[in-house]
């Protein structure tokens, strides 16, 4: 039987490093409720991203939900139709209304030129995704936001290690959120973070993610349990020093794909200029959906499983008002993320490319 090749494979640190961290946790018998390992991880991540406030939470979705709540958002939030479902579901879950602005055909991020026509008296914010870690046009977005006094939240789930114009992509917007799920470049198995440089927002976030506690018997804010554990944070501390090596390996895989794929029938998203990229995903865009499905079937026959990421367009969700976003809907039908993880060898990359080239 041929080796199973999924779109990604979780990279784990050396077991002995993790066990050493666990032994420290066991000796303290402090496994949750903002222990020293969580505090250490938060401090190291703040330094890495160059940000003032960072809150380590249970996952990237709860990060979005708390961000929306802490920013006091109501009514309509302009967002992207091309993202993982959590971007929209967090908006709806917080009793707000997603209003979709279409995407740029090249970057696949929200199109700033489409924002103004979506703004109404009910608009409270813009929630944009750095798609596959590719930066949004942050300057154009924030110009529109300032003109209309709107908050800006960036779903930066894929953006660990990405720099834009010389600084971490996590430094843009009023709030950024990130996922540390096991499928991500940097992970804590489950986890995420909320990032802001705004002191007032930070105070609200710190209360909301911990039941509203301001003291053991005092509650100053409506809150939930958004915390994460020492056990998960320990994985993150073991992973941090490994990221440069992982990015370099992914960069090499990118180069192999780039050199073998027949680009007459395919194209890739364009990474925005002045970006130091993290090579988190390898999406290819087919000429039509039929070609994508043919390739997907041929790859599956050889135990290779890419992912239609993101599909379908979020305009198609059954719990949102019907809206049109023709660029996003077209791209969602034609984009496929190919397998990408550091252990993927040249032989298998060549085999994937050969199947693609023979079926396009």
* Average of per-residue pLDDT across 8-32: 98
135: helix, strand or coil? coil
Specify whether 133 is located in the same domain as 35.
yes
Specify whether 220 is located in the same domain as 283.
no
Specify whether 232 is located in the same domain as 263.
no
Q: What is the pLDDT of residue 107?
A: 98
* Average of per-residue pLDDT across 203-225: 94
Specify whether 231 is located in the same domain as 293.
no
Tens digit of pLDDT for each residue in 244-267?
A: 999 999 999 999 999 999 999 999
> 154 to each of 57, 136, 178, how far by Cα in Å?
16, 9, 9
**Residue where a domain stops, chosen among 240, 262, 294:** 240
Position 5 in a domain: no
Asked if residues 119 and 113 have their Cβ atoms less than 8 Å apart, the reply is no
Specify whether 149 is located in the same domain as 37.
yes
**pLDDT > 90: percent of the chain:** 98
Cβ contacts of 29 within 8 Å, gap of 6 or more: none
Split at pLDDT 50, 70, 90, the class of 58 is very high
Q: Domain tally for the chain? A: 2
Position 1 in a domain: no
Specify whether 212 is located in the same domain as 328.
no
pLDDT at 139 over 80: yes
Q: What is the pLDDT of residue 108?
A: 98
CATH code for position 333: 3.90.1150.10
Tens digit of pLDDT for each residue in 322-353?
A: 999 999 999 999 999 999 999 999 999 999 99
Q: How many CB atoms lie within 10 A of CB 117?
A: 9
Specify whether 132 is located in the same domain as 193.
yes
> 286 to each of 14, 55, 204, 331, 335, how far by Cα in Å?
38, 39, 44, 9, 6
Task: Report CA 86 to chain centroid distance, whole Å.
Answer: 10
Q: What is the pLDDT of residue 289?
A: 98
Range of the domain at 24: 15-240
Q: What is the pLDDT of residue 32?
A: 97
**Residue where a domain stops, chosen among 240, 264, 288:** 240
Position 6 in a domain: no
> pTM to 2 decimals?
0.97
Specify whether 104 is located in the same domain as 197.
yes
Q: What is the pLDDT of residue 1?
A: 62
Helices (H), the chain: 15-28, 36-49, 60-70, 85-93, 138-147, 199-208, 230-240, 243-260, 289-300, 326-334, 346-359
pLDDT at 7 over 70: yes
Asked if residues 196 and 60 have their Cβ atoms less than 8 Å apart, the reply is no
**Residue where a domain stops, chosen among 220, 240, 260:** 240
Specify whether 85 is located in the same domain as 215.
yes
Q: What is the pLDDT of residue 360?
A: 86
Q: What is the pLDDT of residue 2?
A: 77
Specify whether 52 is located in the same domain as 145.
yes
């Amino acid at each position: 039987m041929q080796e199973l090749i999924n779109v990604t494979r979780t990279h784990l640190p050396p077991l002995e490093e993790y066990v050493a961290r666990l032994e420290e946790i066991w000796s303290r018998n402090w496994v949750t409720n903002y222990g020293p390992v969580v505090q250490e991880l938060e401090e190291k991540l703040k330094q890495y991203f160059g940000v003032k406030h960072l809150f380590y939470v249970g996952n990237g979705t709860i990060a979005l939900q708390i961000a929306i709540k802490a920013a006091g958002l109501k009514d309509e939030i302009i967002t992207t139709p091309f993202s993982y479902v959590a971007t929209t579901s967090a908006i709806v879950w917080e009793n707000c209304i997603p209003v979709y602005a279409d995407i740029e055909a090249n970057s696949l991020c929200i199109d700033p030129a489409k924002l103004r026509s979506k703004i109404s008296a009910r608009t409270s914010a813009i929630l944009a995704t750095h798609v596959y870690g590719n930066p949004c046009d942050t300057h154009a977005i924030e110009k529109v936001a300032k003109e209309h006094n709107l908050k800006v939240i960036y779903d930066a789930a894929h953006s660990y290690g990405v720099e834009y114009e010389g600084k971490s992509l996590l430094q843009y917007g009023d709030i950024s959120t990130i996922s540390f799920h096991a499928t991500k470049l940097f992970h804590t198995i489950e986890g995420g973070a909320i990032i802001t440089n705004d002191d007032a927002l930070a105070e609200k976030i710190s209360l909301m993610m911990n039941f509203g506690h301001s003291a053991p018997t005092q509650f100053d804010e409506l809150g939930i349990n958004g915390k994460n554990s020492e056990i998960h944070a320990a994985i993150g501390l073991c992973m941090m020093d490994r990221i440069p090596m992982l990015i370099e390996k992914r960069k090499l895989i990118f180069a192999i794909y780039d050199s073998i794929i027949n680009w007459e029938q395919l194209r890739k998203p364009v990474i925005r200029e002045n970006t130091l990229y993290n090579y988190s995903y390898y999406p290819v865009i087919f000429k039509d959906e039929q070609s994508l499905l043919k390739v997907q079937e041929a790859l599956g026959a050889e135990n290779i499983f890419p992912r239609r990421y993101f599909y379908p367009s979020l305009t198609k969700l059954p719990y949102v008002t019907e809206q049109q976003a023709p660029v996003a809907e077209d791209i969602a039908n034609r984009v496929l993320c190919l397998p990408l993880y550091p252990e993927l060898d040249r032989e298998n990359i060549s085999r994937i490319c050969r199947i693609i080239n023979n079926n396009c």
